[in-house]
Amino acid sequence: VMVGRMAWHRPWLMRHTDSVVYGGRDRCMTRREIIDEYVDYAENVQNTIGSSKCVADDIYGFPTSIVVRPLLGLFYGESGGRKFKMRLSAEWEGNKGKIGIR
C-alpha cells in the first residue's frame, strides 16, 4: 500500500497509524501538542547539527525550510488550514532560520 503522499500531504489522517500497525496505546495528541513536540525536536536538530549546509566542505545541516515542511499539511482541509500553511511559510522565511511558531 502506498501511503507516502498521504503521510506527507495529510499527516493528520495518519495520526493513529502507529497504534494500529504496531499495537499499543494511542497517544491521542492534539495538533497543538504535535506542533509543540515537533518544534522541540526540530530546534534540537538544528542546535545539534546546524541549520545550514556547505556541500564543498561535506557539512550537512537541516535548514528550517526542510525541518518545518512536515507541519505544512497538518491542517489540510480544515478551516484556516491554508492560512496556517501560509503563515508558517512566512515565519520561516522572515525569521532567518528560526522556527518561530510557538
> Is 6 within a domain?
no
> Is 101 within a domain?
no
Tens-of-pLDDT digits for all 102 residues of the chain?
577 888 888 888 888 888 888 998 888 899 999 999 988 888 888 788 776 666 666 667 777 777 788 888 999 999 999 999 888 878 776 666 566 565
Number of domains in the chain: 1
> Is 76 within a domain?
yes
Residue (of 91, 47, 102, 96) closest to 69 by Cα position: 91
> Is 79 within a domain?
yes
> Is 35 within a domain?
yes
Instruction: Quote the pTM value.
Output: 0.72
pLDDT, position 16: 87
User: Taking the chain, what is the end-to-end CA distance rounded to the nearest angstrom?
Assistant: 35
Residue range of the domain that includes 46: 29-94
> Is 15 within a domain?
no
> Is 41 within a domain?
yes
Rg (CA), the chain: 15
